[in-house]
Chains A and B, each alone.
Chain A
């Protein structure tokens, strides 16, 4: 990368049809790009494979949340009804996993949902309101009916002119340079 590229975020091109952007993405993947993305108004079926993306890591946080929730529920009910203020109800044991089970169940779901919800934000690096893409005049249509492939400057393969030509060869229209 030369000095000129330091102020450049990447190059973008737009597509009008789902099948065009889909096949273009396959070619970018096959060319061995690492730092690039396909911006679409809706998730395209099969695009993860077309881009060669690994499975999303969100489920790990869901599992972590669920396990935390179950343990929290156990500790909560045990501490309150058995340790801090033992309650004698019908001569039953102070605590068992059975009687507060609905509470444990709901805590598991609640914490798993928090793990999923915040996991989505964490792995997507959101919220972020200052992304260079927002400066592109035609980016607004990407949330409507346009599809956009962005090749980022931090990819080792990136070279402004060659990447531009590459996007052109994929059939992309409106090729623009994104500045940081």
Chain B
């Protein structure tokens, strides 16, 4: 760096004697790949003939997605009684699945927004796919509350519109806050994702050989020309959207946790919920990013741009947030004991040793114990093992929401009204199908849109530094 040496004459002489060690930074792009290699690699994914694995996976995903539509169709035709909801458990899998999918989305925004503000350059290789994951996860999440309203054709009552009696939504309800939080989250994430993609869509447009491809990507690229006057506005807008998404991502899961915390149910009515939910969301989201990116990295041979350093970082974030989640579990118990509130005490003893103890211990082993393996470098370097641990985390985080939602409702104040909740086949179909729905959207993204942000990856390459020798 030329500029650093210019000011050295004014530094105290002692600094030259005790010259600090040059700390080696892990390279973000291995094998000294050039700009053209990056373009070829990423555009190649979109330009190649549709691979066989994609066709097979797409067929499987469509088949699995049909389960959601069968489940929802049956529900609408028959009524919400076909779900396992009955007194005292009025919030079942629908809410569990909603919180699960919304939580998955949070890693995408964390990577694209918070890590951007923190100047974590390693985010560039994974942010596009993680943002896509966010948007598709929110699509899956949105299905559940929409159908949970019962008569889905009245879903528009959630929007700030008067119903036929001239009554408006009631803004004191956290459920109404949630409508605003999740719809804003979806909209802003989509804007951010699309805007970041425009220069890359321009690259695909410029390489297009067939007229339909040229037309399709031209429309999407909005006539991007890559002039620095455009980049200047683009970069500013990108930074601002990152700045806006950061409080947004923290607020969304905070408001989701308010759905629980604002109520008076033991085990829900706690102030720890917002930070605890946000940590859990990031935890599960990173697990999902690795679950998706490790196979894609292997299929498309992206080892030079998504290298061990990236995987290490993600594993460490999972380790950190998993530990935070474990700490939150412990704090909940401590506060329950310390509160002197017998209902609160009971709620937590009941979680760990009551009728849903099996779910609680699945949650603890998956969320608190398995990620501790990421302390070991050997584990982080074994990618099959990383992938399996991430699956455990996904399962564990689903169970966390199950434990929170169900245990508190099934055993609340009055023992005479306790019950045991089980899902029905309709619940299971609907949830199982959302994995297909998610995969359909994600596979379409992989096939037709730039999987990696080419411009941003080029930007962190060593040869992109104008002062490099």
Could you tell me which A residues sit within 8 Å of B by CB distance? 17-19, 22-23, 25, 37-48, 50-51, 53, 55-59, 62, 76-77, 80-81, 84-85, 87, 89, 99-100, 102-103, 105-107, 109-110, 112-114, 116-117, 119-121, 123-124, 126-131, 133-134, 139-145, 150
Contacts and interface: CB of A to CB of B under 8 A. Distances in A.
B240 A58 contact: yes
A38 B233 contact: no
Given A41-B458, A51-B228, A85 B167 contact: yes
B177 A103 contact: yes
B237 A58 contact: yes
A57 B456 CA distance: 22
24 contacts: A19-B467, A37-B228, A38-B227, A39-B228, A40-B228, A45-B464, A55-B236, A76-B160, A80-B162, A89-B172, A102-B180, A103-B177, A107-B180, A107-B184, A109-B251, A110-B187, A112-B244, A120-B233, A120-B234, A124-B229, A124-B234, A140-B207, A144-B39, A144-B206
A41 B466 contact: no
Given A100-B171, A117-B195, 17 more contacts: A37-B227, A39-B226, A39-B228, A42-B464, A43-B459, A53-B232, A56-B235, A62-B244, A76-B160, A102-B255, A107-B184, A110-B187, A113-B188, A113-B244, A116-B240, A124-B230, A142-B226
Given A100-B171, A117-B195, A47 B466 contact: yes
Contact of A80 (B169, B222, B226, B234): B169
B303 interface: no
A142 B226 CA distance: 8
Nearest to B171: A100
Nearest to A53: B232
Contacts of A85: 162, 166-168
A39 B464 CA distance: 14
A97 to B, nearest CB: 12
A121 B222 CA distance: 9
Which bracket fits the contact residues of B? 35 or more
Contacts of B241: 113, 116-117
Interface string B227-265: 111111111110011001101100100010010000000
B92 interface: no
Nearest to A120: B237
A116 B192 CA distance: 10
Contacts of A106: 177, 180-181, 184, 248, 251
Contacts of A37: 227-229
Contacts of A144: 35-36, 39, 203, 206-207
Contacts of A131: 223, 225
Contact of B228 (A53, A105, A120): A53
Given A18-B466, A106-B180, A110-B184, A43 B160 contact: no
A88 B410 CA distance: 31
A145 B34 contact: yes
B237 A116 contact: yes
Contacts of A40: 226, 228, 231
A99 B207 CA distance: 53
Nearest to A77: B171
B342 interface: no
A9 to B, nearest CB: 12
Contact of A126 (B162, B224, B454, B468): B224
A79 B173 CA distance: 17
B330 interface: no
| B168, B224, B245: residue with the most chain A Cβ atoms closer than 10 Å | B168
Given A59-B236, A110-B187, A39 B227 contact: yes
| A47, A51, A106: residue with the most chain B Cβ atoms closer than 10 Å | A106
B251 A102 contact: yes
| A56, A107, A124, A140: residue with the most chain B Cβ atoms closer than 10 Å | A124
Contacts of A48: 228, 232
Contacts of B458: 41-42
B233 A56 contact: yes
